[in-house]
Amino acid sequence: MNHTLGANPVEYPLVLSSKVCGSCHSVVLPVFDGDKPYVRPGTKKPEVIIEQATYPEWVFSDFRDGGPTPRSCQDCHMASSYPGLPAPLSTKIASIQEASNMPQTENRQPQSAIDLNPRSPFGRHTLVGLNVFFNQFAQQFPDVLGIRVQDPMLGGKGVAPLTTTFNSMLQQADTGTATASVTRVQTTRDRLVAEVKVENLAGHKFPSGVGFRRAFLTFEVLDAAGNDLWVSGRATPTGVLVGADGRPIAGEFMWHQECGPKTAAEQTFQPHYETITRQDQAQIYQELVRDPKGRLTTSFFSLADVVKDNRLLPRGWTPSVELARREGLGSAKLSAEALTHHILPDLPDGHGGEVRDPWYEPKSQGGLGGGGDEITYAIPLSDIKGTPASVKVTLYYQAIPPFYLQDRFCTTPAQPDTSRLFFLAGHANLDGTRAEGWKLQVVSSGVVGISPHP
């Protein structure tokens, strides 16, 4: 770099700090009502909202700098380790025309000036989440997206970058995202009762980032042969959650068929459950937001009112204006107080009220301080068609859920970008990949036997 560009790179500690990530991963956007800025009744200033709050979520967790178990964004997303290799990683940090590895050329610098020495520690530039679905779009339709799939410097000796990214996403899902377990299961005289626990391993909410991402639990009651007898969170091959009758459960679509608009009252959704008793109920961890007219939306510039946010909180959840100010989170557009209030959970009970779930309350308020969730499945035996022998719970993730695709197709049907998305979603072949069925399995409890009624 010094020889070619006349620039001498120097070390800067901010690169190793989570603050460098916070500059992008705390996004404040204006709210529009149609093409005009939205001014909430009773106020005078145009409304703003924090559209993404991944960095503030980390600040309010045990993983923050100075927290009980500090861990930076880079520790997870630029790890200095790789399965099967010694840690910390030691490698060359650039790809140039080294004398020892490249053919002889005229007028090159001497070998001592251009050959690189391995350095350690080295942070892998994975920087991935779990959007395996778009990764498959990119692998299968690079011409549509205008991207390359092979690094010309690798030739036939390396793994294609998109394949490496896909594998890194799977590793992230398998080792750094969540756990799910059945902590107790038993039949009573008239019910099957199972308690499920989910633990969030991430240093922020899960899911985090853009609000249309979601995770959901599939809970299955199985017979001795492993056949489904009863399922909550059953998904079709296109990732739509359905009940026992095969019909989509509440919240799967924001519009009627053929893009007929639903009223705000018709846009029902799954509440935050503490107990599930029916197959048309599913625990979905997600954020849902209404626009200024009261309709659910996925448009970034119409996000007026959060009506549900039961995404799994990070361990040690401690929302604090003091912490927000210390980390410089407030601004002229959105104060530290407003930011802290905005990212609090919203746990609708489905009847106009709020659920008081201790997993979503800080320890200072008598809660468990985040880090997971517990849910009970209390199923009438009369609804189970067969003899239950075991149960299983699986946590799935969807970066592109059905309601998001429908909202994009129906909101701007005539736009080139919409046509491109329609083509990608309609032609992508996810069979045989971990994205099959338009859902990514994060973790499963495996089959758990049922204790007999005493």
pLDDT for 115 equals 83
Buried/exposed 294-331: b ≥16 CB within 10 Å, e otherwise: ebbbbebbbbbebebbbbbbbbbbbbebebbeebebbe
Q: What is the mean pLDDT of each run of 10 residues along the chain (454 residues)?
A: 81 89 93 96 93 96 96 93 88 76 79 84 88 96 90 71 92 96 96 98 96 98 98 98 98 95 95 99 98 96 96 97 90 89 96 97 96 98 96 98 97 92 97 96 97 72
Q: How many Cβ atoms sit within 10 Å of the Cβ of residue 84?
A: 5
Helix (H, G, I), strand (E, B) or coil at 426: helix
CA-CA-CA-CA torsion sign (362, 363, 366, 367)? positive
User: Which 8-state DSSP code applies to residue 172?
Assistant: H
pLDDT for 317 equals 98
- Residues 195/181, Cβ–Cβ less than 8 Å: no
Beta bridge partners of 216: 284, 396
Instruction: Tell me the Cα Rg of the chain.
Output: 25
The continuous run of DSSP H or E covering 303 comes out as none
Using one digit for the tens of pLDDT, what is the confidence trace for 229-285? 999 999 999 999 999 999 999 999 999 999 999 999 999 999 999 999 999 999 999
pLDDT for 194 equals 98
pLDDT for 154 equals 67
pLDDT for 97 equals 73
Q: How many Cβ atoms sit within 10 Å of the Cβ of residue 54?
A: 24
What is the reported pTM? 0.94
Helix (H, G, I), strand (E, B) or coil at 364: helix
CA–CA gap between residue 166 and residue 174 (Å, rounded): 12
Q: What are the distances in angstroms from CA 177 to CA 130, 282, 313, 338, 444?
A: 9, 20, 12, 28, 12
* DSSP-derived pairing of the beta strands 275-276 and 372-380: parallel
pLDDT for 454 equals 64
pLDDT for 1 equals 72
